[in-house]
Amino acid sequence: MQSIASYITLLGTVLLIGVFYFVISNSKLQEEYSSFSKKWYSFRGKWFIFLIILGTALTLGTLIPFPIPSQAKVYSSDDYQQVDVSGHQWYWTMSTDTVVAGKPVEFRVIGADVNHGFGVYNEDLELVAQVQAMPDYTNKLIHTFDEPGKYRIFCLEYCGLAHHVMMSELKVEAAN
Amino acid sequence: MSTTTVSNKISYSEAENQGALVAVKAHLIAAFLVFLLMMLAGATLRAAQGNMAPIGADVFYQFMTVHGAGMIGIAAIAGMAVLWYFLRQYVPLSTKIFWINFGIFLTGVVIILGSVFLGKYGGAWTFLYPLPGISMGAWSTGAAAAFLLGLLIIGTGFLILLLDFGRAILSSYGSFGRALGLPQLFGKEPLNPYHPATVVAGTMVLIVDFIGIAAGAVVLVMMLVNLYNPEFKPDPLLVKNLIYFFGHVIINVAIYSAVVAIYELLPRYTGRPYKTSKVFYAAWFAIVFMVMSVYPHHLYMDFPMPKWAMIGAQILSYGSGLPVMVVTGYGALMLVYRSGIRWNTSAKLLMLSIFGWAAGGIPAVVDSMVSFNRVLHNTMWVPGHFHFYLLLGVLPMIFGFTFYLLNGANGAQEEKPPLTERLGFYSFVGGALLFVGGFLASGASGIPRRWAVHLEEWVPYAQWSTLGAVLVIVGVLLFTLRVLTVLPKAPDPALAPAH
């Protein structure tokens, strides 16, 4: 996902640079505004319709199915591995530090004192899942680990002076 | 003060205009100095993450708090100065109230600086409840209270200024709807293409900012009460909603205030009028609601948020980019195309601002999609996108307006812009692109935001950004030298003939 985000941004920025270059390189010449304004304002309507269609497609494509797990649902221990996670200034507690790959994990995450951010990183330091750890609320994060290995837990919400040392580890073992 | 309306414009005495110009210049000079100081603080943060500035974590988070609060505050007041300068030409604004807000702002700033540098407060500008009250001994309750009080005082000043906006707009247009052009949009009044874009923007800013700051005041008071009476425990999710509503509105309004520089100045430089239209009114009317309703895109990772709020936020976040891409940006490009424009520093900066606003919107829209936010939220991607449209969008709007005041309506007349302006421009642009590129690449690599110390693997990204930040600072320093030496004595450009 991160590389797609980068490519979209890079492509969009380069296209915009191209449009601005075209306009700026054509700015010194002087031409009567009315000679082209009607044509280009008519193009604006098409540009608007294109953006609406693009937005509709993006909305449907990215929100169905909805990417955030249901918080009302009760996740059974038969189908889900369960880990209770609590964020404290400045450490994590987890009911277990070992899960298996291939079976979904339900992380039940709270902030014991202030807001924290529960971020799960793989061995290549890629962020694979996250959720806020909030006081007074239990956030249910569902994630299935595809690969076994040592995952790292970092805090992703600023929580005070030792925010950056709030780290823990999660072992993901291969399923039998 | 005279309230006679002549051809849509208010007539003031020469002394009143002179007083207003001095007030605007004071705002801009303060803004340049604060921008420069805040940039030095910001560059220090990136240098620390790049192992190039040996500062402790406590100092890092204090700098981070000052940088965040300071940049938002100064962008808000400088953007407001741009809007105020042009809006007073159409509705009768009070220079005295403009000064009062400035005085209250500076008072709030002093209190905030005291809370951070004397009281060691380092709870970030976001002051997420209950962090300000639970510092593990790093700062006192008094320091946290001073920070919150400083923000509350600054908000009060803005509310007073906005009340004056409301009075002036109502006295000239009778209702906010008419000022927004709604009777024209809905066909109840004939279309007037010379209805001022600045009045439309000013009315939007008034409505949205007033509500945003009022929400901010509510949450600040709740948190102040909690600090001294811990029995009173507000709901953390409600508080978070109020804080992000307030913060999102404030920073967006800085953009929508400063954008009037484009509507007012590009027509001067291109010799083509910026005419208002039904599309223009519709875009700004939509923005009134969108700016207030998109903020839940900050809360996607707070899973108890209602599903409808998240879906609405994603759709509206995309939608709020459309007026930029279809109305303001597109219209500005049309004005410039084959216009024979002379590229003085002001015109260059305004054109840059349109690019920065539009291009910075792309990573912002990406992050506002839930699927991407799951892996980008609270990584460096977030400061990456907002630095993109603040550094390359809002600041060039404010700078472009300043150089208009500084160099007169036609820029440096027939001459090329001075070397300091040319060098400053290219150093600023090159540095800013390098800087935001470093941020976005860091975010795509999963680097968390607000970390005083980075893992070894992440250090090169910070070093790359630090180089960009230094170039930005060199550019702004050169601009500031021009501003300090020329702006105080620059005559009113309104008296100079238009291009």
Please give the CATH topology (third level) of the domain spanning A76-173. Immunoglobulin-like (2.60.40)
CA distance linking residue A12 with residue B359, whole number of Å? 7
Interface of B with A in 200-219 (CB under 8 A): none
Q: How far is A4 from chain B (nearest CA, A)?
A: 9
Q: What is the 3-state secondary structure (H, E, C) of chain A?
A: CHHHHHHHHHHHHHHHHHHHHHHHHCCCCECCCHHHHHHHHHHHHHHHHHHHHHHHHHHHHHHCCCCCCCCCCCCCCCCCEEEEEEEECCEEEECCCEEECCCCEEEEEEECCCCEEEEEECCCCCEEEEEEECCCCCEEEEECCCCCEEEEEEECCCCCCCHHHCEEEEEEECCC
Give A-chain residues touching B310 at CB under 8 angstroms.
68
Beta bridge partners of A117: A132
Cα–Cα distance measured from residue B475 to residue B348, given in angstroms and rounded to the nearest whole number = 14
Alpha helices in B50-140 (DSSP H): 57-87, 95-113
Spatial distance between the Cα atoms of B435 and B408, rounded to a whole number of angstroms = 31
For residue B45, being part of any structural domain is answered with yes
**How many residues does the structure list for chain A?**
176
**Whole-number Å distance between alpha carbons of B276 and B193:** 5
Domain ranges (residues) in chain A: 2-63, 76-173
Least CB–CB distance from B338: residue in A29, A66, A119: A29
Report the pLDDT value the prediction gives residue B495, as an integer from 0 to 100: 60
Determine how many CB atoms are found less than 10 A away from the CB of residue B193.
11
Average pLDDT, chain A: 94
Residue B443 lies in a domain: yes
- Determine whether the interchain pair A2/B235 forms a contact, defined as Cβ–Cβ distance below 8 Å: no
pLDDT above 60: residue B411? no
Does the distance separating the beta carbons of A161 and B57 come in below 8 Å?
A: yes
What pLDDT, on a 0 to 100 scale, did the predictor assign at position B418?
Answer: 87
Q: Give this complex's ipTM.
A: 0.94
pLDDT in tens, B307-337: 999 999 999 999 998 887 788 889 899 999 9
**What's the whole-number average pLDDT of chain B?**
93
- The DSSP result for B290-312, as a single string, is HHHH-GGGG-TT-TTS-HHHHHH
Tell me how many domains chain B contains: 1
Residue B3 lies inside a defined structural domain of this protein: no
What pLDDT digit, counting tens, does each position of B21-78 carry?
A: 999 999 999 999 999 999 999 999 999 999 999 999 999 999 999 999 999 999 999 9
More confident residue, B323 or B350: B350
β-pairing, A105-111 vs A81-88, is parallel
Q: Considering the domain boundaries, does residue B494 fall inside one?
A: no
Q: Is B445 on the interface with A (CB under 8 A)?
A: yes
CA distance A36 to chain B (A): 9
Residue B498 has pLDDT above 50, yes or no: no
Phi first, then psi: give them for residue B498, nearest 5 degrees.
-75, 155
- Give domain status of residue B5, yes or no: no
- Asked if residue B99 has a cis previous peptide bond (ω within 30° of 0), the answer is no
pLDDT value for A35: 81
Overall average pLDDT of the B338-354 stretch: 93
Q: Environment class of residue A159 by beta-carbon count within 10 Å: exposed (0-12), middle (13-18) or buried (19+)?
A: buried
> CATH code at B157?
1.20.210.10
Residue B499 covered by a domain: no
Quickly state the pLDDT bin for B409 (edges 50, 70, 90). Answer: low
Low-confidence winner among A134-143, B410-419, B438-447 (lowest mean pLDDT): B410-419
Tell me whether residue B368 is in a domain: yes
**β-bridge partners, B406:** none
Q: With a cut of 50, which residues of chain A have pLDDT below it?
A: none
Three-class SS state of B5: strand
Instruction: Name the residue with tokens 């001073």.
Output: B146
- How much of chain B exceeds pLDDT 90, in percent? 86
Tokens of B308: 């409808």
Distance (Å, whole) CA A45 – CA B137: 59
Whether the per-residue pLDDT at B4 is higher than 90: the answer is no
Identify the pLDDT of residue B416: 78
pLDDT score at B407? 83
What's the one-letter identity of residue A74? V
Maximum C-alpha span of chain B: 68
- Which residue does chain B place closest to A5, by CA atoms? B366
A117 close to A90: Cβ distance less than 8 angstroms: no
- Does residue B5 register a pLDDT over 90? no
In total, the C-beta contacts within 8 angstroms joining chain A to chain B are 219
- Burial level of B180, CB count in 10 A (0-12/13-18/19+)? buried
Tell me the mean pLDDT in the region B393-400.
96
Cβ atoms within 10 Å, residue B225: 13
Q: Does the pLDDT value for residue B436 go beyond 50?
A: yes
Q: Token digits for A83? A: 């880990």
Chosen from B121, B377, B434 to mutate, greatest number of chain A CBs within 10 A: B377
Which residue from B270, B256, B328 is spatially nearest to B83, judged by alpha carbons?
B256
- Concatenating the DSSP letter of every residue in B194-214 gives TS-HHHHHHHHHHHHHHHHHH
- pLDDT higher than 90, residue B150: yes
Q: What is the nearest CA distance from B38 to chain A, expressed in angstroms?
A: 20
CA distances (Å), origin B276, targets A39, B172, B281, B283, B428: 18, 18, 7, 11, 32
Which of A2, A47, A136 lies nearest to residue B444, judging by beta carbons?
A2
Q: Express each pLDDT in B194-231 by its tens digit.
A: 999 999 999 999 999 999 999 999 999 999 999 999 99
Q: What CA–CA distance (Å, rounded) separates A81 from A99?
A: 7
Band the pLDDT of B247: cuts 50, 70, 90: very high
**What is the Cα–Cα distance from B23 to B249, expressed in whole angstroms?**
25
Chain A interface includes B16 (CB < 8 A) = no
